[in-house]
Structure 1
Amino acid sequence: MDEARRDRLTDWLRAASGDASLTIGRMALLSGGAIQQNWAVDVSGGHEWVLRTDNAATLAVSHGRAQEFALLRAAFAAGVTVPESLFLCEDRDIIGAPFFVMRRVAGTAAGFRVVKSDTLGGGRVACARSLGRELARIHSITPPRDDLAFLGAAPNDPCRAFIAEQRAALDRQRLPRPVLEWGLRHLERTAPPAIPAALVHNDFRTGNIMLDETGVTAVLDWEFSCWSDPHADLGWLCAKCWRFGNDAQEAGGIGPRAALYEGYGTPDDARVRWWELAAHIRWASIAVDQAERHISGLERSLELALTGHMVPGLEWEILRMVEARDGR
């Protein structure tokens, strides 16, 4: 961040915090964050914060910083393990984009490291149970909520709403995706009955969950949250694409599915597995969108370009899952 923006940020933080003597020490761009930027900010008084702002290009389906700030506050109030959100700035003149500031927490979220550890989160079984409990707390938030009005009305049938959204996403792509269409058709034929919607994180997976040796220290990245079937979060976490190669541990490559269910309560396993197939279709669609950010020239990035190369593997898994569900 250049000096002019840093000076403006200092002045703004002094006003927001009520500390006229506040100074910024170290600022460092944290790793990860293909869609958003996260900056570690050390300020006077020993405070360790994170500033979260937009990258040059964002996905149309992701929330803005003001909306994510509100989601974090709602989750914090519901007992979800999230960083405490502190200050929101919607003035683009400060650093060039809206941002919010939250407390920094310790731990690791790197998926390839998390799935290799037998001790992070208190051990595999204990960690999977903890993840189930975190999801149950998230899903205790139900519509309508004035503070989350930007989420719109909850769908009457979350499964059918998902199918319609994904079909629209595929229709706007430059190239046809017949395997994804085939998977959507299977979901359409096997959709379970509608149940009341709740808040879903909508990206609850290994890589967005901060862990240390004692347990979960933070659930991160709420930019895709929406009202939907709560089983969608369970299916997303259990999707093979988020196990980072540790396929035997079905709860995100971290622990057993049974422990996740035990921590959550009594989820409907058949419904979870419907959403697990849905997760592969959705992630394939997102991967195509990520690659388009690079191809368009708007945001040249090797990471975004490589994300597009994940799509054939996801399509193969979708075909395998459909075949298995059809009993062939």
Structure 2
Amino acid sequence: MDEQRRAAVETWLRGASGDPALAIIGAVLLSGGAIQQNWAIDVEHRGSVEAWVLRTDNAATLAVSLPRAAEYRLLQAAQAAGVTVPEPLFLCEDATVAGAPFFVMRRVKGIAAGYRVVKSELLGGGRVALAEALGQELARIHSIRPPRPDLAFLGDAPADAARAFIAAQRAALDRQHAPRPAIEWGLRHLEREAPAPVPAVLTHNDFRTGNLMLDEQGVTAVLDWEFAAWGDGHADLGWLCAKCWRFGNLAQEAGGIGPRAALYAGYGGVDDASVRWWELAAHIRWAVIAVDQAARHISGTEPNLELALTGHIVPELELEILRMTGVPDA
């Protein structure tokens, strides 16, 4: 964070916090965050040093990503529902302060990096206990249901989340120039096996290893709410269980962290067939996102190494789609 930007943020925070003596004494850009920037800032505030995070837009964004004001209000709603989230502190919608809208939340301790999380036998009191805790967090998220005036920016809930998902993914593929028959095959399979509609709930839509802050006691924060929407709660369970988010620890089906059965138990019981449907949908969704991100680089409109590398995961996802749909020898 350059000095000009830091000074502007500091001045704004003095007004927002009501502390004219507030001072930013440290600011470090945190790793990760392909779509958003997260700055760890240490602040002298009312006689003590506090650890906060400033979250704002990165250069490369996705059209489906919610703006920071929406994400801030989602954190407020989640906190009120008992979900373990970083405490939301201040929201700045004035882009002139830091170059883009931002919000500030309290910084929490823990480990989020997927490759580290899946190797640990100690986080959250062990694999079974942690998987159960993740199920409980999802149950709290899904207790938030429309209509909610404070979440009006999410729009109307879909009457049939499964059919809406298929239509959205097919439209996204149609915008691409290269055919993707394996993904189309997967979408057709989903169409034939679509579950019956269920009442809509708030879905996090990126509840996975890597977006969960954990320590030896359990979950310290559910992060990255920028893709939240009204939908079928089974979608979050399927996304977490997708093989692509197990970080190589395939035997632990709940995000490479723990057993699927423990996740289900913590949630309070689920329709396994619906979760499996959404698990296939998760691989298709991630493949479509990867195709889109690679296209942004290849087209020359947004040259970016991370976008280019994301395209290399598409064949692996296509192979998994074929396996999950029962294609022989896939």
TM-score, length-normalised on structure 1? 0.97
Instruction: List aligned pairs for 1:206-217, cutoff 5 A.
Output: 206-217=209-220
Among residues 125, 130, 135, which one is paired with 1:132 in the alignment?
135
Determine whether 1:32 maps to 2:32. Answer: yes
Among residues 171, 174, 180, which one is paired with 1:168 in the alignment?
171
The 8 Å contact of residues 199 and 227 in structure 1, kept in 2 or not, is answered as yes
RMSD across aligned positions (CA):
1.3
Aligned-residue offset at 1:293: 3.5
Give secondary structure in 1 for the equivalent of 2:199: coil
The aligned counterpart of 1:20 is 20
The 8 Å contact of residues 84 and 103 in structure 1, kept in 2 or not, is answered as yes
The structure-2 alpha-carbon separation of the partners of 1:99 and 1:297, relative to structure 1 and needing over 3 Å to count, comes to farther
Determine whether 1:314 maps to 2:317. Answer: yes
Aligned positions, number: 326
Structure 1 Cα separation of the partners of residues 82 and 23 of structure 2: 32
The structure-2 alpha-carbon separation of the partners of 1:279 and 1:70, relative to structure 1 and needing over 3 Å to count, comes to same
The aligned counterpart of 2:274 is 271
The structure-2 alpha-carbon separation of the partners of 1:64 and 1:105, relative to structure 1 and needing over 3 Å to count, comes to same
Aligned-residue offset at 1:176: 1.8
Give secondary structure in 1 for the equivalent of 2:282: helix
Aligned-residue offset at 1:303: 2.3
Aligned-residue offset at 1:173: 1.6
The aligned counterpart of 2:5 is 5
Structure 1 Cα separation of the partners of residues 323 and 91 of structure 2: 45
Q: Which amino acid aligns with 1:24?
A: I
- Bigger shift: 305-314 or 283-292? 283-292
The 8 Å contact of residues 52 and 99 in structure 1, kept in 2 or not, is answered as yes
Q: Which amino acid aligns with 1:111?
A: G
Aligned-residue offset at 1:301: 3.1
Q: Which amino acid aligns with 1:127?
A: L
Structure 2: segments with no counterpart, 5+ residues: none
Deviations along 1:269-314, one digit per CA (max 9) or x if unpaired, are 0000000000000001111222233334454432221111000000
- Bigger shift: 85-94 or 313-322? 85-94
The aligned counterpart of 1:73 is 76
Instruction: List aligned pairs for 1:205-284, cutoff 5 A.
Output: 205-284=208-287
Among residues 182, 185, 188, which one is paired with 1:182 in the alignment?
185
Deviations along 1:226-264, one digit per CA (max 9) or x if unpaired, are 000100000000000000000000000000000000000
The 8 Å contact of residues 56 and 299 in structure 1, kept in 2 or not, is answered as no
Give secondary structure in 1 for the equivalent of 2:202: strand
The 8 Å contact of residues 57 and 298 in structure 1, kept in 2 or not, is answered as no
Determine whether 1:55 maps to 2:55. Answer: no
Aligned-residue offset at 1:169: 1.0
The 8 Å contact of residues 34 and 60 in structure 2, kept in 1 or not, is answered as no
Q: Which amino acid aligns with 1:20?
A: P
Give secondary structure in 1 for the equivalent of 2:326: helix
Aligned-residue offset at 1:216: 0.4
Q: Which amino acid aligns with 2:242?
A: A
The structure-2 alpha-carbon separation of the partners of 1:299 and 1:37, relative to structure 1 and needing over 3 Å to count, comes to farther
Structure 2 Cα separation of the partners of residues 319 and 7 of structure 1: 53
Q: Which amino acid aligns with 2:12?
A: W
Structure 1: segments with no counterpart, 5+ residues: none
The 8 Å contact of residues 170 and 285 in structure 1, kept in 2 or not, is answered as yes
Q: Which amino acid aligns with 2:252?
A: Q
TM-score, length-normalised on structure 2? 0.97
The aligned counterpart of 1:286 is 289
The 8 Å contact of residues 291 and 305 in structure 1, kept in 2 or not, is answered as yes
The 8 Å contact of residues 294 and 305 in structure 1, kept in 2 or not, is answered as yes
Determine whether 1:193 maps to 2:196. Answer: yes
The 8 Å contact of residues 57 and 293 in structure 1, kept in 2 or not, is answered as no
Structure 2 Cα separation of the partners of residues 289 and 92 of structure 1: 27
Structure 1 Cα separation of the partners of residues 113 and 298 of structure 2: 26
Structure 2 Cα separation of the partners of residues 292 and 94 of structure 1: 32
